[in-house]
A and B are shown apart, each in its own frame.
Chain A
C-alpha cells in the first residue's frame, strides 16, 4: 500500500536521525514482585524455532540442508503425543525453510495436517496447508516462516477451543526440544562451540517445566510427557550449571552440550515413535569431534548410561 510504504519510510528516517532518544525519566529496576508477576504468554514468551535459527545464522552459517530430517507423524490416538508431534513437526518446518527445501516444507505441512486430523482439527487448517504448499512452490521463504508459525498457533487455538488447553504447553515444549536438538548439533560440530551462547535459556526451560508440572494428572502420567519433563529438567539443570563455567573450560562445556543434545534427541525420538512401531527418526550421524592437541577425546553419552570419558594418551 502506498500509505503503508510512506509510513515505513517516515518511521525509518526518523529512527535513523534519532537513533536513541534520551529518556527524561529515571527508570528503577524491577521489584521482586514485578519479576514474579510478569506476564508469560505461550505464543509470545516462548520463542519460535525461527528465532533460534536466526540467532544461529548470525554466529555461524549452519548447513541447514544436512539438518533436515524427514520425519513422519507418529501413529497414535494419544492426544498428548499428537500435541508433542505438532511441536516437533513445526520445528522441522522451520529447518526446511532455513534449508530452502520446498519439498520438505510440503512434507512437513502434510504431516502436520495428518496430526491435525487425528486431533480432530483438520478442517480449520485446510487453508493453512494450501498456503504452505503455495509458498513452498513459489520459494517464498519469509512467508513460509510466518505461515508455519500461524499454522502452529491455529492448532493451539483449536486445542484450546476443544478444552485441551494443556496440550498447548506440550506443543511448545516439543518445538523447543527439537530446536535444541538441531542447534546443539551445529554447536558441537564447531571446535570452539560457536553458537553455544544461543542456548543459554535456562529460565525458558524452567518455565516450560512449571507449565508441565501444572498439567492435569491424566496428561502428566503419559510416558512421553514424563520423558519430555525429565529431559527438560535435566537440561535446565545443565544450563544453569553451564552459565557458571568459565570460558576456558571448553571441553567441559562440550560435554555438557553433548548431554543436552542427547537429552533433547531422546525426547524427540520418544515423541515421534508410534506406539507399536520402531523409531521413525533416522539417527543423526555421530558428530565428528575435532581433535584438539592435548585435550582428552570425548565420547558421546548414550541415553541410558552415565557419561563416559576416555582420555587419550597425550
Chain B
C-alpha cells in the first residue's frame, strides 16, 4: 500500500499505524461484505441499542498487525454519549481502543473486553465528551495468536 503523503517535513511513514491513504474509503458500491468481524461488532453494539443508543450505519474494517494502530477521526458532540466497538473473528486476540481529544491527548473512558465466548475478540469504549470537536479513536491489537495480521471491524453508537 502507498505510504501517506507527509505534511510533517517528509519524514518516513511509521509502519506502526495505518494512515488515511493506506485505508482509503472502499470504492466497492456493493453493500458491506458481511464479515464475521462486522457481525460480531454489530452484535456487540446491539447491546447498547437496548439502552437507547443508535448505531451509525457505517463501519471501518481492515487488517491490523500486532502493535499497529489505526487512528479514526470521529466528530463528537458535547452532551452526547458514545460507545465505540471493535471486534475480530479470532478468539484470544487482545483489542485495545483509546480515545484522544482533538489535540491528540489520550482521554479516560469506560472500557469493556469480552471475557466470554469470544475472549478478547470484542472491545467497547464508552465516552461522553464535554467539548464538541473532531476526536480520534485508536484501534490496536495488543496480542494476536500466531502473529499474522488480523481482521477488525469498528462501529459506534450514540445517544
Contact = CB atoms under 8 A, between A and B. Distances in A.
Interface of A: 4, 7-8, 10-12, 14-15, 18-21, 23, 25, 27-48, 50-52, 54-55, 58-59, 142, 145-146, 149-150, 153, 157-158, 160-162, 165, 197-201, 203-204, 207
A4 B46 CA distance: 8
A48 B56 contact: yes
Interface of B: 4, 6-8, 11, 13-14, 17-21, 23, 25, 27-31, 43-44, 46-47, 50-51, 54-60, 69-80, 96, 98, 100, 102-106, 108, 110-113, 115-116, 124, 126, 131-134, 136, 138, 156, 158-159
Given A4-B43, A30-B104, A37-B17, A43 B136 contact: no
Contacts of B108: 20
Contacts, number: 182
B117 to A, nearest CB: 9
B133 A37 contact: no
Contacts of B19: 37-39
B54 A29 contact: no
A146 B134 CA distance: 23
B7 A36 contact: yes
A303 to B, nearest CB: 26
B80 A38 contact: no
Contact of A35 (B75, B104, B113, B124): B104
Contacts of A198: 77-79, 132
Interface of A is mostly: helix
Given A29-B104, A161-B29, A38 B136 contact: yes
Given A8-B47, A41-B60, A204-B134, 16 more contacts: A4-B46, A8-B50, A27-B106, A29-B103, A33-B6, A34-B14, A34-B17, A36-B8, A39-B19, A39-B72, A41-B25, A43-B56, A43-B58, A51-B75, A54-B158, A157-B29
Given A32-B8, A153-B57, A58 B72 contact: no
Given A12-B47, A12-B50, A160-B27, A19 B58 contact: no
Q: When A and B form their complex, which 5 residue pairs have the shortest distance between CB atoms, in order from nearest?
A: A161-B29, A30-B104, A37-B19, A43-B58, A58-B79
A47 B131 CA distance: 15
Contacts of A197: 78, 131-132
29 contacts: A14-B115, A20-B110, A21-B110, A27-B98, A29-B100, A30-B105, A30-B106, A32-B8, A34-B14, A35-B104, A36-B4, A37-B21, A38-B71, A39-B73, A40-B20, A41-B73, A44-B58, A44-B74, A45-B73, A54-B77, A54-B159, A142-B54, A146-B55, A146-B57, A153-B58, A161-B30, A203-B102, A204-B75, A207-B73
Contacts of A14: 112, 115
